[in-house]
Chain A
Amino acid sequence: MTQTLQQSLATNAWESRSSRRRLWLIATLTLLVLLCALSITVGTRQVVWTNLFAALGGRIDNIDQAAVAVRIPRTVLALLAGAALALAGAVMQGVTRNPLADPGILGLNMGASLAVVIGVAWFDVGSAYAYIWIAIFGAAATAVFVFTIGSLGRGGATPLKLALAGAATTVAFSSLVIAVVLPRSDIAGGIRSWQIGGVGGATFDRLEPVLPFLIVGFVITLLSARRLNSLALGDELAAGLGERVVLARATAGFGAVLLAGATTAICGPIGFVGLVVPHLCRMLIGVDHRWLLPFSAIGGACLLLAADVVGRLVVRPSELDVGIVTAFVGAPFFIWIVRRQRGREL
Chain B
Amino acid sequence: MTLVRESRRSRARRHGLAVALLTAMAVILFALTLSLGQSFTPPVDVLRVLLGEDLPGVTFTIWQLRLPRALLGLLAGLSFGLGGVVFQILLRNPLASPDIIGISWGASAAAVFCIVVLSLSGPLVSVVAVAAGLAVALLVTVLSFRNGVGGTRFILVGIGVAAMLESAIAYVLSTAPSWTLQDAMRWLTGSLNSAQLAQSLPLALVLAGCGGLLLTRGRDLEALRMGDDVAAALGIRVAGTRAIVISAGVGMIATATAATGPIAFVAFLSGPIAARIVGNSGSLLIPSALVGASLVLLGDYIGQFLLPGRYPVGVVTGALGAPYLIYLIIRTNRSGGSL
Contact = CB atoms under 8 A, between A and B. Distances in A.
Given A332-B160, A338-B157, A179 B184 contact: no
B181 A191 contact: yes
B323 interface: yes
Contact of B164 (A153, A192, A196, A327): A327
B119 interface: no
A335 B160 CA distance: 6
B333 A165 contact: yes
A161 B332 CA distance: 10
A338 B151 CA distance: 12
Interface string B137-170: 0000001101100111101110111011011101
Given A153-B336, A165-B329, A318-B174, A175 B189 contact: yes
Contacts of A176: 318-319, 322
Nearest to B159: A167
Nearest to B312: A182
A118 interface: no
A178 interface: yes
A323 B333 CA distance: 30
Q: Which of A150, A191, A339 has the most CB of B within 10 A?
A: A339
A345 B329 CA distance: 17
Contacts of A324: 167, 170-171, 174
B322 to A, nearest CB: 3
Interface residues of B, number: 55
Contact of B156 (A167, A173, A178): A167
Interface string A316-346: 0011110111011011101100110101011
Contact of B175 (A178, A272, A315, A335): A315
A182 B308 CA distance: 11
B311 interface: yes
Contacts of B174: 315, 318-321, 324
Contacts of A327: 163-164, 166-167
Given A190-B181, A331-B160, A168 B153 contact: no
Nearest to A333: B160
A74 B137 CA distance: 39
A343 B332 CA distance: 20
Given A179-B315, A179-B318, A327-B166, A160 B152 contact: yes
Contacts of B333: 149-150, 152-153, 161, 165
Interface string A174-200: 011011001100000011100010000
A182 to B, nearest CB: 6
B318 A164 contact: no
A22 to B, nearest CB: 35
B177 to A, nearest CB: 10
B282 to A, nearest CB: 29
A178 B181 contact: no
Contacts of A178: 185, 188-189, 315, 318
Contacts of A321: 170, 174
A327 to B, nearest CB: 4
Given A321-B170, A346-B150, A149 B330 contact: yes
B334 interface: yes
A172 B156 contact: no
A334 B160 contact: yes
B88 to A, nearest CB: 15
A249 to B, nearest CB: 21
A138 interface: no
A271 interface: yes
B339 interface: yes
Interface residues of A, number: 49
B118 interface: no
A168 B152 CA distance: 12
A328 B185 CA distance: 21
Interface in A112-154: 149-150, 152-154
Nearest to A343: B147
A82 B337 CA distance: 38
B315 A182 contact: yes
Given A179-B318, A324-B171, A160 B156 contact: yes
A338 B160 contact: yes
B16 interface: no
A160 B153 contact: yes
Given A332-B164, A338-B156, A153 B318 contact: no
A171 B318 CA distance: 9
A169 interface: yes
Interface of A: 149-150, 152-154, 160-161, 163-165, 167-169, 171-173, 175-176, 178-179, 182-183, 190-192, 196, 271-272, 315, 318-321, 323-325, 327-328, 330-332, 334-335, 338-339, 341, 343, 345-346
19 contacts: A152-B334, A153-B333, A164-B339, A168-B329, A171-B159, A172-B323, A172-B326, A175-B265, A178-B188, A182-B185, A271-B163, A272-B163, A318-B174, A319-B174, A321-B170, A324-B167, A328-B164, A338-B160, A346-B150
Given A171-B159, A172-B325, A179-B316, 12 more contacts: A149-B333, A153-B332, A153-B333, A154-B336, A164-B156, A173-B322, A182-B311, A271-B163, A331-B160, A331-B164, A335-B160, A346-B338
